[in-house]
Structure 1
């Protein structure tokens, strides 16, 4: 048994959070002792396993600011993670291994008293920062340098896809490191055990029984390109009969944190776009649906629309594939590794028309959803199973343990 602590900045709801929670669950099932150390954890905005005691959570440094006058988010995140890492020095039973992600600057601090550190790179942080003024470039320069140098100090580096591995190598040119691809998976046991609620209860509204339901799941962030799903819905009207179009409904579900200004603003933007394109009555917006409701709407929908361009990997398509749902996604980034075009879903150009054309196929031929969904489930089991994910992660932990014994 190895003691493993997961160090994560904000343990809310998102793809990165889902991955680290699943990683903790995987190691716990392998007999290891796991917990989370984070700077923020809201019981009303988190995954069930971190709320119900399945995985202990320690909150450290929540009093530290998330920003300074609406600026310096990255710097504040770095400070909060270094503070959380320093906290481990005072633990009675220090972990044998720390698994951290998103912010690497804490790694040198951890190495002062933690034997082994794993770093999971979802995507280089410096590439997530939007371009700005010359002043911002000066501000980011030392942070970017620190990210690269400290990332290279991890004992093991995972990335979530071959696409991210290539971006990693191209971004961190100083590092002579070949990161290992650890494809995310999902906690299929939870999916299997979850007792589905009716669609009416999940949406708090009733839809006609013959509805054709498209689902979009993503955080309310502009980089997720959610407006594309709404534009595609509007474009679809000219591609199918009026009778079929009446049956179509779009569910927009995603993580929403009222503390995050972009979440609040973008939600308003999307509802405004729906009104402008005259499709408001055909859309249901869900903000931070519960885990049970999320699994339920996945199982009740006919197809998933996944709109982010150059997504680092994308956990939602895996969830849809496991639920036997056809996936329509942009032909870039991680989805090109998870989805087989024309077999488990469709990979399309980044335009409302391109998405609408594939949506029309689903509307006109419901059997294609069943066919592609079955193929998707088979691909998930073969390539992205929770067992494969757990075994690969556990092997790295065991290698650390054996190395410690040999020393």
Structure 2
């Protein structure tokens, strides 16, 4: 048994958080002891495994500011993670044999400075590529943070990324780090999707009961997710088919603390109204896992709109639930979605998406076959068993060396 501490900045319900929880569960399944230390965890806005105690969670540093007047989020995240690292090293009794860090690499040098414990750093995507560098003020603010990200990431004992796409971006971005990171694909815990839908589906059934074909979009309410593309494509579909019996459900992670979530959600609602789609589009904010799973099982096609998404767990969830996936032809979906077999990889235009959406609506037998092939692909290549085995090998190698 190996004691492993996870250090994660904000344990909400995003894709990065899902991977951290799945990694903890995977290592538990191999007999290891795990504990998550985070600067923020809301029992009302988290995955059930962290709420019911399956994955133990300790919050430290939530008293530190998350932003300063709505700005300096990255700097505040660095400070909060430095504190969480110091707390774990000096004030906790966890005594880990391996640290698993992700998203914010500033905790790596803290651990390496004060302990001899090896660190596995999981890089979802270089943060400096996600940050804005448009104005000279932003460039000045980001310059030391970008430098620290590269230098501190390079201090990890082992570095892992979520796809070969991200591995290539990692090497192109962090040129001073000579070793290529390992690839560990995120996985699905099939058991959570195999459960029967409960009455939770009734809460959204009224929105789609008169529609025989349901398109589903699942992503956080962030502009980089390009959710407006799904709405515009759906509007073109409705016009092309002269108002067919179809419905679009927009599901998104939503945090009222984040101005972008609030602003973008309102923008999308206004877009729907301007296109006269209010009766055909339903918005859901941070639904429970039970509702999300039921939606995946009762919809017909997933619309996945982010461009250059570093991996994207939602297409896997959809394919396992036998939905064909229409996604942008870039980033992670190139490694998960088989074009013309489990879905379609498109240009990020409303016209291209609408064309594929219409084709699946008019050829529903093909949509069913694509869904079946998608499930087979996920079981073969992205199983929780395979993920657990590979992650366990990383941990064993860290401990033995």
Category of TM-score, reference length = shorter chain? over 0.9
Provide the residue aligned with 2:124 in structure 1: 122
Give 1:239 shift: 2.9
Aligned ranges for residues 105-254 of structure 1 at < 5 Å? 105-111=106-112, 112-192=114-194, 194-197=195-198, 200-203=201-204, 205-208=206-209, 210-240=211-241, 242=242, 245-254=243-252
2:300 to 295, 299, 302: 302
Among 256, 259, 262, the residue aligned to 1:261: 259
Question: 1:199·1:300 contact (CA, 8 Å) conserved in 2?
Answer: no
Q: 1:96 to 1:200 in 2, by over 3 A?
A: closer
Deviations 1:305-349 (A, max 9, x none): 000000000000000011111000000110011011000100001
- Alpha-carbon distance in structure 2 between the residues aligned to 1:166 and 1:335: 15
Does the aligned pair in 2 maintain the 1:36–1:56 contact within 8 Å?
A: yes
Q: Per-residue deviation at 1:209?
A: 5.5
Q: How far is the alpha carbon of 1:198 from its aligned partner? A: 5.4
Q: Which runs of 5 or more structure 2 residues have no equivalent in the other structure? A: none
- The residue number in structure 2 matching 1:28 is 28
Pairing of 1:6-405 with structure 2 (within 5 A): 6-89=6-89, 90-111=91-112, 112-192=114-194, 194-197=195-198, 200-203=201-204, 205-208=206-209, 210-240=211-241, 242=242, 245-403=243-401
State the 1:30 CA deviation: 0.7
Say if 2:132 and 2:138, in contact at 8 Å, map to a contact too: no
TM-score (ref. length: structure 1): 0.96
Q: When the two structures are aligned, how many residues end up with a matched partner? A: 399
Partner deviation per Cα, 1:246-303 (whole Å, 9 max, x = no partner):
3100000010001111111111000000001111110110000000000000000001
Q: Distance in 2 between matches of 1:200 and 1:319?
A: 17
Deviation at 1:210, TM superposition (A): 4.9
d(CA) in 2 for partners of 1:95, 1:265: 41
Q: Cα distance, 1:199 vs. partner?
A: 7.5
CA–CA distance in 2 between the matches of 1:247 and 1:204? 15
Tell me how far apart the structure 2 counterparts of residues 198 and 284 of structure 1 sit (CA, whole Å).
19
Distance 2:274 2:137 in 1: 37
CA distance in 2, matches of 1:207, 1:250: 9
In structure 2, how many angstroms separate the alpha carbons of the residues matched to 1:176 and 1:67? Answer: 34
Does structure 2 retain, via aligned residues, the 8 Å contact 1:104–1:147? yes
Do 1:98 and 1:114's aligned partners in 2 also have CA atoms closer than 8 Å?
no
2:223–2:264 contact (8 Å) kept in structure 1: yes
- CA-CA distance at 1:130 after TM superposition: 1.6
CA distance, structure 1, for counterparts of residue 177 and residue 399 of structure 2: 25
Query: Is contact 1:331-1:348 (8 Å) kept?
Result: yes
Unaligned runs of 5+ in 1: none
Distance in 2 (alpha carbons) for counterparts of 1:257 and 1:341: 33
Q: Normalized against structure 2, the TM-score is what? A: 0.97
Structure 2 SS opposite 1:280: coil
Of 209-218 and 308-317, deviating more is: 209-218
Deviation, structure 1 residue 35:
1.2
1:329–1:346 CA contact under 8 A, matched in 2: yes
Distance 1:135 1:206, change over 3 A: closer
Contact 2:342 2:371 (8 Å CA) reproduced: yes
* 165-174 or 111-120, which deviates more: 111-120
